[in-house]
Amino acid sequence: MFRVCTLSFILTMFGMQAHALEWREIAGCYQTVAYNNTYLENSYRNYSVINLSENPLFFISVDEEEYVVHTAVLYKGDSNYHYQDIYFEDGSNSNNRGLLKNDFKSYVRYRFSPDKVIKLTSQFSARHVDGNTYEVISFKNIEFAGETFLESGRFVLEKVDCYDDIETEELFSRGIELPFELEL
């Protein structure tokens, strides 16, 4: 009986602590603590940025709708390489017991070239672990010109102070890289 009451109390307390996490809460700068269960050493290059809302990207869908896209640049752990992904505000957002999730599936036309159409499936979820630590799971599947490109990763991130504009520019000067060449 005591175990049942204790478990019920713990679950009640956990349920009370879970709140509706919003995208604006995870916006910021991070170091990657772990990538796919592998712990990473902190360094100058171990630097991630989520939700660059001051610099959103825009994609135009095949049916002429415009989608606001926010950037999530996540450190992967390989030398001089950053995992780069995106989430769409216009996607299907859900929030279930502290897990914030965004799903976006559509045929999207590249804004600078009407002939370049990609099929994009993007799933991006985040949850607060404790303190300044968040878990982010990212999945992206792109189909273009008969080829499929898949990226995914599970990140444990710890919020840190943001670098200044010059330092950030040095790290992310190339912007978001697509896994294929688009002819402009």
CA dihedral in degrees (75, 28, 50, 96; nearest 10)?
110
The model scores a pTM over 0.85: no
Pick 164 or 79 by higher pLDDT: 164
Separation between Cα atoms, residue 69 and residue 140, nearest integer Å: 14
Split at pLDDT 50, 70, 90, the class of 161 is very high
Give me the mean pLDDT over the 47-75 stretch: 75
User: Residue 62 pLDDT more than 80?
Assistant: no
Given the structure tokens 């995992």, which residue do they identify? 83
- Residue bearing the bigger pLDDT, 128 or 108: 128
| Cα–Cα distance, 143 to 172 (Å, whole number) | 25
pLDDT at 82: 57
- Please state, in angstroms and rounded to a whole number, the distance separating the CA atoms of residues 61 and 116: 11
With 90 as the cut, is the pLDDT of residue 18 above it? no
For residues 76-87, average pLDDT = 60
Q: What is the percentage of the chain residues whose pLDDT exceeds 70?
A: 73
CA dist., res. 159 & res. 28, Å (int): 7
Structural contact between residues 121 and 104, judged by C-beta atoms closer than 8 angstroms: yes
Q: How confident is the model at residue 179 (pLDDT cuts 50, 70, 90)?
A: low
Q: What is the pLDDT of residues 125-145, one digit of tens each?
A: 999 999 999 999 988 888 888
Amino acid 5: pLDDT: 43
- Residue 9 CB neighbour total at 10 angstroms: 10
Give the residue-averaged pLDDT of 54-71.
73
| pLDDT averaged over every residue in the chain | 76
